[in-house]
Amino acid sequence: MSQSAAVADAAPRNVSGVEPFYRIEFSGYHSRYLDVTLRLPASDQGYRLSLPAWIPGSYLVRDFARHLVGKHAEDVHGRPVAITPVDQQTWDLAPSDAAVAVHYRVYCADFSVRSAHVDSSHVFFNGTSVFLRVHGAEQARHEVVIDGRDLPGDWRVATTLPAIAVDERGFGDFAAAGYEALIDHPVEIADFVERQFTAGGVLHRMVFTNALPETDFDRIASDVARICETEIELFDGAPFDEYLFLVALDESGFGGLEHRDSTALIFPRGHLPSVTAGGVSKEYQRFLSLCAHEYFHNWNVKRIRPAAFAGLPLDRPAHTRLLWVFEGFTSYFDDWLVRHAGLIDETQYLAALEETINRAMRGKGWSRQTLEESSFYAWTRFYQQDANAVNAIVSYYTRGAIVALMLDLMLRERGASLMDVMRRLWEHHGEEPLAEGERVEALIEEAMGEPMAAFFDRALRSTETLDVAGLLARVGVAMVPRAEQAGPDAGVRVDQRDPQAARVALVFEDRPGAAAGLAVDDRIIAIDGFAVNGANWAERIARHRAGDRLALHVFRQGRLLTMTLTLAPECLNQHRLERAAGDIKTEARFADWLAPRATTA
C-alpha cells in the first residue's frame, strides 16, 4: 500500500446519509477557470476530501489537484472552516456544527481528452479534474448543478450525466448514482453541431465543436451508425440506454478516451469529409477507426475490466498485465470493425493493418520488453517515453493487436473467432472484474480446443519473433519486406518540418546514426559541406550508396560538432501486405476473415 493510501485509510469517518452537492459556475471562463462549490452537511468528525491522481483509460499519474486554485471553506454562517492538507491530493475538512461549502477554482488549459479545457470557444471537463471525492460517501447520490448564466447564450450542454431538471440549453440539475459514475461523464459546453442516430434501438448523439462549416456531418453520423450497429450486433445488445460522441476538432490533434456511455475525441477538422468529398480517405478512415476503437471499449475495459481497476484506486497507479487484452485486442478490432461494417474495402483494411505491424516492428523495443511487461509498466514506460523508447519498449497497442490478429486467424481455422472469445469474456466478466493470471488464456484455449501454453509463453512472456507472416500467408496475404526509406540507411529519422536543419527525432540502435554518435535533438546543418534541412534530408541521403562516408556538421546544445556517417544497405525492417494467389481453401479463409457483415434492407 502506498503512503498516501495508508494515510487516507487512517481516519475513518461516519458519512452515512451524506450526499455531496456540487455547483459549477463559469464567471472566469475567459481566464480558463471554472468555479466549483461543494456543499456538505454538518459533521462533528469533518470530512476527508481528495482529487484523483489519474483518469481511467489513461495510465499516467497526472496530479489533477495541481490545477486547483484558491481552495477555502466556510459554514452557512460565513465562519471559516479549516482545510488541512494530508498529501498532494488529499485534504481534511475540519468538523463543523453547521453545513459547509468548499470553494475552489480549476484552471483548465489542457486541450486533451483526459483533463479539462476552457476558453472563449468551449468548455470541456472530465469529472476527475473537477469533483472532489468525499471519502466514505462514494456510493451515495451525487448532485451537480451546471450554471451557464455567465456563458454565451448560444452555448449548450452535451453530457450523459443523468439530468434531473435542465433548461432548453441543457443547463441545470444533474445527479449520479455514486462517485465512480460522477467522474465517468465528460461534459462539453459550446455552440456545437449535433447529429443523432439510432443503433441497436439506442439513441446516439454526435457533437462536433469548432468544425469547418462544409463538413458532411450527415455522412459521418451515417457511417458511425453502421459501426455502432455492427458492434452492438456482435455483442448481442448494447450495455447502455444512450450514447454520446464528443468530438473536439482542431488543426492536428488526435486522441480518444472511453467512458461507460460516451467518449471524448480530438481530431483534425480538415480530415473529416466535406459535403463534396467522395470515398473514404486515409485520414477519414483513421477517424472511423478511432470511433470504432473507443466504442469497443464500452465492453472491453469499461465493463470487462481488470480487477486492478476496481474499487476506485485513483490515488496511485493500478498495475495490470492485461492491457494487451484491453487495448491490444481493441486496436486489432477497430480497423477490422470498419471493414466489417462495409465502410472500407479489403485493400484499405490491409493498408491499415500494414501500418500497425510496421509500427510494432520498426525499432528494437519488441526484442527488449515482453507484452506483459509493456502492460505492467505502462505508467512509467509507455506513457513516459523518452528518446530511447523505440529501442527499449514495445507498445501493448500494436504488439497486442498483432497477437490478437494471430489468435483470430488461428481460431478461424478451427471454426471459431476472437469475437467468440470476446463474447465469452462479456458473458463471464461483464460484471465480475477480470483477475490477473491465466483466465483470458484459458478462455482462448477453450475456443481453440487445444493447449496454447507454448504460444502464450512466446507471445506474452518472451521477446521472440512472432510468425505473423506464416498465418497471414494461410489467408492469402503476403508480408513483403521493404525499407523504411528508399536508398541507403542512415539509421536516424529527422523532423521534416524544420527548414533550418535536419533535427534528429529518432536514433535506431546498431545502425549508422548511432555508430556515428548522433543523438536525438542534434541539428544536422550540412552534409559534406552543403546545407541540409528536414525537408531535403532523405533526398540527399538517397543520392549516395551503402558504404559512402558522409561528413556531417551538427549543432548540439549550441556547440558545433563534426561526425562521420557511414551509410549501410537499406534496412528491411518494414513490410508491405499484398494479396497472394491461393487455393480455394485460402480464399475461403480470407473471405471468412474480412467479408463485411450481411445487412438487411
pLDDT over 50 (residue 9): no
186 and 196 co-located in one domain: no
- Is 485 within the bounds of a domain? no
458 and 514 co-located in one domain: no
In the numeric block, which cell numbers belong to residue 416? 471459431
* Residue where a domain stops, chosen among 298, 324, 353: 298
Give me the CATH number covering residue 535: 2.30.42.10
Q: Report the greatest alpha carbon distance in the chain.
A: 84
* Residue where a domain stops, chosen among 229, 263, 298: 298
548 and 584 co-located in one domain: no
pLDDT over 80 (residue 3): no
- Is 310 within the bounds of a domain? no
Report the predicted TM-score, pTM, of the whole model to 2 decimal places. 0.94
427 and 503 co-located in one domain: no
135 and 258 co-located in one domain: no
51 and 157 co-located in one domain: yes
55 and 150 co-located in one domain: yes
Confidence of residue 8 (pLDDT cuts 50, 70, 90): very low
What are 449-504's pLDDT values in tens digits?
Answer: 999 999 999 999 999 999 999 999 999 999 999 988 888 999 999 999 999 999 99
The pLDDT mean for the chain works out to: 95
Give me the CATH number covering residue 223: 1.10.390.10
558 and 416 co-located in one domain: no
How much is the pLDDT for 581? 84
The three state secondary structure string of 274-288 is ECCCCCCCHHHHHHH
Range of the domain at 198: 192-298
205 and 256 co-located in one domain: yes
179 and 199 co-located in one domain: no
346 and 445 co-located in one domain: yes
- Is 504 within the bounds of a domain? yes
* Residue where a domain stops, chosen among 170, 190, 210: 190
The answer to whether 401 and 332 have CB atoms below 8 angstroms apart is yes
Give me the CATH number covering residue 180: 2.60.40.3650
Helix axes 330-340, 282-296, angle to 10 degrees: 120
60 and 121 co-located in one domain: yes
How much is the pLDDT for 11? 52
- Is 6 within the bounds of a domain? no
Q: Which of 291-295, 317-321, 436-440, 520-524 has the lowest mean pLDDT?
A: 436-440
What are 139-175's pLDDT values in tens digits?
Answer: 999 999 999 999 999 999 999 999 999 999 999 999 9
Q: How many domains in the chain?
A: 4
Helix residue spans in 394-503 (DSSP H) = 398-412, 418-429, 439-448, 453-461, 468-473
The answer to whether 81 and 94 have CB atoms below 8 angstroms apart is yes
- Is 143 within the bounds of a domain? yes
User: What residues have CB less than 8 Å from 157, skipping those under 6 apart?
Assistant: 146, 148, 166, 169, 170, 171, 187, 188, 189
- Is 220 within the bounds of a domain? yes
Q: In terms of DSSP bridges, do strands 47-50 and 133-134 run parallel, antiparallel, or are they unpaired?
A: antiparallel
Share of the chain above pLDDT 90, in %: 93
- Is 234 within the bounds of a domain? yes
321: DSSP letter: S
- Is 52 within the bounds of a domain? yes
